[in-house]
Structure 1
């Protein structure tokens, strides 16, 4: 079965933890994740600048390692990312910002990427949001 997973909540939220556990279970069950899509406050999970307290789980780092180790298609909504200061090098330069902070395993793209992936997958599972 092909899954698309969308995360709408920030890295430190219980929804992010549940989404990561679900994503790991999907792969462990022999299924496929065709796209991970970060939207709204979920885009913070793709920031390379999140610093987590030593006694807490670094969920942004866990997401980064998970996407990289499984060579997954990790997409961050560009509009939501820009609004929240999550930028790649190109967008930082284009908007005259001093630095990029998008983790290397993720890419900025439009909301159409979520729509396209949902059309091609068997299931779209969303976590968080309001």
Structure 2
């Protein structure tokens, strides 16, 4: 049973994608019922580069050298957060569609969390919900 901890990385299978997608837990609600979990991608989507270049800086590079669960250097996509219920993660795990891979390097985690918190893309409520940052 998954009891998510910040920094944990999971491989998740999706029905219409031919490969596992990696997610990293960067925020957990106070009750531990939902997580904020961006995707880890092998490269920055060309659409982002061409049409939304202001979001490129929110794709944080991480290296295989510091994150042994990776097969190659990758990017954490901090321009979009995935709100996932812990129940959903456990259901996926029970169906063999979610598995633990490892822990994101501590230095990388600091950079990723900072990118989320300072992105301007999350509401004050979301910042409180996932990161317990007081609402001004």
Work out whether the TM-score is over 0.5.
no
Relative to its length, the structure with more strand (as a share) is 2
Relative to its length, the structure with more helix (as a share) is 1
Between 1 and 2, higher relative CO (CA 8 Å, sep ≥ 6) is seen in: 1
**TM-score, structure 1 as length reference:** 0.31
